[in-house]
A and B are shown apart, each in its own frame.
Chain A
Amino acid sequence: NAGVTQTPKFQVLKTGQSMTLQCAQDMNHEYMSWYRQDPGMGLRLIHYSVGAGITDQGEVPNGYNVSRSTTEDFPLRLLSAAPSQTSVYFCASSYAPGTGNEKLFFGSGTQLSVL
């Protein structure tokens, strides 16, 4: 049972480069999300989706794009990387909010450094 698969595990970018972090889940979860985690701070929501074709902004969406063409996949795109985007990124999924079964399953994380 794969759960949430997130790639890559590590990435180094130069300022201005673009890249896509991949996320896929095989649990038929409606809800998918991307977080960033920085030292001393709580997880911060970047973007989320409640189903295929539906995405919305979280707390810190600037500089990131997402799409949800299928239930399984939710890639995160960095358009033009900046040093402020150096962070650990987590993809997470769950059943739909309001179902009483909202516990999140997390991918293994991506350590991103922007030089």
Chain B
Amino acid sequence: GQNIDQPTEMTATEGAIVQINCTYQTSGFNGLFWYQQHAGEAPTFLSYNVLDGLEEKGLFSSFLSRSKGYSYLLLKELQMKDSASYLCAVMDSNYQLIWGAGTKLIIKP
């Protein structure tokens, strides 16, 4: 079966760096997405990786290793507004999205 694994919850301190991991087993691969979802709101797009390596976008980066079925989202200089759930999703060979259950990130002052 197809599966996405990510930690259920993480805690970090304001101003620090946090890495949220995502491992996947899917039928084929057509890209990996990260979305941010604040409580009570809709998910919003953060990043898309289809090739191996690191994509940097200011205060966050996303990394992909297709051979290892692994990605991470790196958030730097954490702010209280970064408290949210982070969803990892993989697009399989049929272009269907397989979603992880999300990682709830708690930022402490």
Contacts and interface: CB of A to CB of B under 8 A. Distances in A.
A58 B73 CA distance: 27
Interface in B71-109: 87, 89, 91, 95-102
A109 B37 CA distance: 12
Interface residues of A, number: 18
A97 B96 CA distance: 8
A104 interface: yes
A45 B41 contact: no
Contacts of A109: 41-42
A106 interface: yes
Given A102-B31, A106-B43, A41 B48 contact: no
Main SS of chain A's interface residues?
loop
A104 B99 contact: no
Contacts of B30: 98
B101 A40 contact: yes
Contacts of A44: 99
B45 A41 contact: no
A90 B99 contact: no
